[in-house]
Structures are given as C-alpha cells and as structure tokens.
C-alpha cells in the first residue's frame, strides 16, 4: 500500500524550515512547469480599528513569503494569493485591502509580481459536490493549475480543528457559507466541510504552526507559540496529522472522519507515513470547546460569576459564521453589565434550531434565522427581536437594553476595538513577535 507522506518540521529559521518541510513531504512533486498557482492563507478576521488579531489566528507573512520564494525558484511566475475574509459588512472592500497591505502583500507584488485578491471581488462558479450538494467556489482557485493551502494550526469551537480542508471554506461565497450551517439532520456542517477539497486542483498543504490557537478560530482563543510546520501533498493526511499534533484522533474530528469515509481511506493513519518529527513529540493538547454549565444555558465563567436570571443557550452547528462573530462580543458585554442583581428571566436564542423555553418572561431572538423560526411561537411571553443577517452591533445593544440588561453603549459603538482588548494579554511577551506578520 502506497502511503501518503506528511512532514512535521520544527520552525527554526526563515525559508530554511519551509524548504525542509517541502522537501521532506515531496510537496512540490505535482507542481506543473509554468503553473498558475493559487495560495490560500487563513485571514479569518480583520479589523482596521485596532491591533490586528494575529498569532494563531491568521497565517504568518513569514511562511507566505518563504513559499513564494520557493515557487519562484521553481520558475513559477503566475502566483495569486486569495482570501474571503469574514467582515461585519459584506460589501466592505477597504478592510481586505487594509489586511493585504498590512501583511505585506503589496511588497510581494512589487518584489515577486504576486497578485492579491479578495474573492468577493471575483467570479464564483457553482460546483456539484455530490449527494445533492452544490456550493459556489471562487473561480480563480478552481482554474489554477496548483494550490498551496496554508492554514493555521488551530482548534475550532464547532469543527474541533480548522486546518487544510476547513480553510477552503474561505473560498465559497456568503450564501454557500450560510448553507453549510443548516438544519439538515445528515447534511450538516461536518458533512459540508468534508467535501470542500473534492474538486480542487492538485494541492500542497502547509499548516502554519509557528503560532497555534486553542479554542479558535478567532481572537478570543488562547494563542500559543508552537514553532511547527506540517506539510503534505495530500490534504486529508496533513489534516489527520495536524489533528494529532493538536491532541485529537482523526476519528474525533467528524469532518475528517467523513472525508476519510468519502475517499475510502482509513482514519487511523495506517496509510500515512510521518517524516521529520513524530506526532508524539510534536503533540500539545489544544482545547476546542468553550465550556458551558451542565445544561448548556450559560458559559461556565459567567455562571461562576454568579449571573442569574439569564439563559444564553450554547451555540450549535446551525449558527453561521456571521452571527457567531457577534455572539462572543454579546456575551462579553453582558458579563461587563452584571451588577449582582438577577435579570428578569431572560432567554437568548441563536442559530437556526433553538426553541423557546416555556415560562421565560423575555425571549431574545438573535438574528434573522431565529426570528423567522420563532416569531409566532406560543411559548414566547415577550419577544425581543434582533433582526438582520447579520445583525448590527447597535441592534444587539438595543435588544439587550430592552431585555433589562443595561450594557455599556460605548462597547458596541467601539466594537471594532474589541480584538485589542484580547491581545493585551500578549503584550511584552517576546515570543509573540510582530515581525512574523511583516514583509521587509
């Protein structure tokens, strides 16, 4: 049985470490001469208002440039970097441009002729993924000759890990992303993610673990310096090994198990050859879940604060990317608003499947999907709707105040500053080095 090769390499020096990962994994063996190459980083989130959320959240510019240099050495001149960053305002063009500029992609253009695109400015094509599933993918990646997929080594609150396959979710349009977070009992998020790599061109996956993230995928997780690279010309093998490095068996990651089943592959790594460092020597367990109380009605830290009179049910797979990016800030604002007096039996529902609990005095419906599902529900005594897809920060503030939770208006007015609050914990720690996200 021919085994897929996966390299685990300690990151030590610029260019040399990435070059070693490419060589050990035979990652460029399927790269055609004069190929049109598409590089897919992970820039899951960006803000222009404060220090950008970086370590373990987004792909380092250091690894991006190293990969560009290696491609140029092999005679590749047509290189495009493309991403579909999550933004609060879907038509925002300035934020992706600011991300590319700050991360040094303009320098890559001037130095190496590399193009950088936001996929929302480019055409999409509908791709049949089988089993009645079709999603709209960016046309540039589909029509490239070769893909270099550079995700971050991170866990994910919904999918356990977010590595090479999950990184390709950034290549589909907004309706397709929302479609992945559905209410189907079988074709759920894990089902959808498992098919994202099926119609890709030949691909080399290089998991950037210089920094890793616990409880990802965004800035409210715990950022770590891990100094690792995981590389393979087979994305599933790279992800299964990457999951192991994060402390999870592939069978514990549903979308990886699904992918293995779809491809008639074992997920015990019996058909994978690991070279370089061993999985055991590289493993550092990263938690993925945000803990809630025993009945999943309140985050555990908020229960420990003594918060009463509030039920904020735990997210499920139907909560899409755009509302999920607002749930964390909402919870943070509520925690800051707690003054020790119980609130008036308030329940906050999110996603697409939650139903009101009989007897609650006030029911907040978070987002358009929750409103459409429950607006006429007989168990709601007083409905407070947060409409919008996604809702605006100000509409969340207004609804919480109406429910008797007096949040600070400045919090929502300055919500783009929130990542800076989480990043303060890494100040003056030399291992969290800004230079990895700059190109000189």
> How big is the CA angle at 439 (ends 417 and 13), to the nearest 5 degrees?
110
DSSP state string for 232-257: ESSHHHHHHHHHHHTT--GGGSHHHH
Question: Is residue 214 located within the same domain as residue 315?
Answer: no
- Rounded-to-5 percentages of helix, strand, coil across the chain: 35, 20, 45
Which residue in 282, 285, 289 sits closest to 217, CA to CA? 289
Q: Is residue 294 part of a domain?
A: no
**Averaged pLDDT in 10-residue chunks for the chain of 440 residues:** 93 97 96 97 89 88 98 97 87 91 96 97 97 96 98 97 98 96 94 98 98 93 97 98 98 97 95 98 96 96 97 96 90 95 97 96 97 96 94 95 95 87 89 93
Question: Is residue 116 located within the same domain as residue 201?
Answer: yes
Mutual orientation of helices 105-112 and 94-102 as an angle, nearest 10°?
70
Write the CA distances from 143 to 127, 137, 371, integer angstroms: 12, 11, 39
Question: Is residue 255 located within the same domain as residue 352?
Answer: no
Out of 240, 261, 288, pick the residue that ends a domain: 288
- Dist CA 133 CA 365 (whole Å): 29
- Dist CA 193 CA 180 (whole Å): 8
pLDDT of residue 53: 66
pLDDT of residue 47: 87
Q: Please, which residues bridge with residue 372 across strands? A: none
Question: Is residue 111 located within the same domain as residue 257?
Answer: yes
Q: Is residue 420 part of a domain?
A: no
Q: Is residue 184 part of a domain?
A: yes
Q: Please list, in sequence order, all residues whose beta carbon lies within 8 angstroms of the beta carbon of residue 328, skipping any fewer than 6 positions away.
A: 218, 220
pTM (2 d.p.): 0.96
Containing structural domain, residue 87: 4-288
Question: Is residue 192 located within the same domain as residue 324?
Answer: no
Question: Is residue 101 located within the same domain as residue 137?
Answer: yes
Q: Is residue 439 part of a domain?
A: no
Give the strand pairing for 160-162 and 152-156.
antiparallel
Out of 288, 317, 339, pick the residue that ends a domain: 288
How far, in whole angstroms, is CA 208 from its chain's centroid? 14
Question: Is residue 59 located within the same domain as residue 110?
Answer: yes
- Dist CA 55 CA 61 (whole Å): 11
Q: Is residue 416 part of a domain?
A: no
pLDDT of residue 322: 87
The structure tokens listed for 94 are 């300035």
Which residue in 259, 241, 238 sits closest to 249, CA to CA? 241
Question: Is residue 229 located within the same domain as residue 282?
Answer: yes
Domain total in the chain: 2
> How big is the CA angle at 163 (ends 99 and 109), to the nearest 5 degrees?
35
pLDDT of residue 313: 95
Question: Is residue 82 located within the same domain as residue 170?
Answer: yes
Question: Is residue 137 located within the same domain as residue 191?
Answer: yes
Q: Is residue 271 part of a domain?
A: yes
Out of 253, 288, 323, pick the residue that ends a domain: 288
Indicate which CATH number applies to the domain containing 248: 3.40.50.11440
User: Running DSSP on this structure, what letter comes out for residue 58?
Assistant: B
Question: Is residue 242 located within the same domain as residue 331?
Answer: no
pLDDT of residue 219: 87
- Dist CA 208 CA 421 (whole Å): 25
The structure tokens listed for 106 are 């303009």
User: Running DSSP on this structure, what letter comes out for residue 286?
Assistant: -
Q: Is residue 277 part of a domain?
A: yes
Q: Is residue 428 part of a domain?
A: no
Question: Is residue 248 located within the same domain as residue 363?
Answer: no
């Amino acid at each position: 049985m021919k085994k897929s090769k996966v390299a685990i390499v300690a990151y030590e020096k610029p260019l040399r470490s990435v070059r070693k990962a490419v060589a050990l994994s035979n990652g460029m063996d399927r790269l055609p001469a004069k190929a049109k190459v598409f590089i897919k980083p992970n820039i899951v989130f960006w803000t222009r208002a404060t220090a950008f959320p970086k370590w373990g959240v987004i792909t380092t510019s250091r690894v991006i440039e190293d990969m560009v240099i290696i491609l140029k050495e092999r005679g590749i001149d047509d290189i495009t970097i493309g991403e579909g960053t999550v933004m609060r305002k879907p038509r925002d063009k300035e934020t992706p441009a600011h991300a590319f500029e700050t991360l040094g992609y303009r320098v890559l253009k001037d130095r190496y002729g590399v193009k950088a695109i936001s996929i929302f400015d480019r055409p999409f094509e509908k791709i049949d993924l089988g089993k009645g599933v079709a999603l709209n993918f960016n046309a540039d990646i589909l029509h490239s000759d070769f893909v270099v997929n550079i995700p971050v080594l991170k866990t994910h609150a919904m999918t356990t890990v977010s590595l090479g396959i999950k990184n390709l979710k950034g290549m589909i349009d907004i309706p397709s992303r929302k479609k992945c977070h559905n209410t189907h009992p079988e074709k759920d998020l894990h089902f959808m993610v498992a098919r994202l790599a099926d119609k890709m061109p030949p691909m080399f996956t290089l998991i950037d673990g210089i920094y890793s993230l616990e409880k990802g995928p965004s800035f409210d997780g715990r950022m770590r310096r891990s100094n690792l690279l995981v590389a393979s010309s087979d994305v599933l093998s790279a992800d299964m090994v990457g999951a192991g490095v994060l402390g999870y068996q592939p069978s514990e990651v549903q979308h990886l198990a699904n992918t293995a089943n779809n491809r008639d592959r074992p997920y015990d790594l019996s058909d994978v050859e690991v070279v370089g460092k061993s999985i055991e020597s590289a493993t550092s367990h990263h938690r993925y879940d945000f803990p809630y109380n025993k009945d999943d009605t309140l985050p555990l830290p908020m229960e420990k604060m003594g918060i009463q009179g509030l039920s904020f049910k735990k997210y499920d797979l139907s909560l899409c990317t755009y509302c999920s990016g607002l749930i964390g800030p909402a919870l943070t604002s509520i925690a800051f608003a707690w003054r020790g007096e119980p609130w008036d039996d308030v329940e906050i529902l999110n996603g697409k499947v939650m139903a009101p609990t009989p007897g609650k005095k006030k029911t907040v419906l978070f987002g358009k999907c929750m409103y459409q599902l429950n607006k006429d529900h007989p168990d709601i005594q007083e409905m407070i709707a947060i409409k919008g897809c996604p809702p605006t920060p100000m509409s969340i503030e207004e609804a919480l105040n109406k429910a008797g939770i007096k949040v600070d208006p400045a919090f929502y007015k300055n919500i783009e500053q929130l990542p800076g609050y989480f990043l303060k914990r890494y100040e003056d720690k030399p291992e969290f080095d800004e230079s990895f996200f700059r190109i000189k």
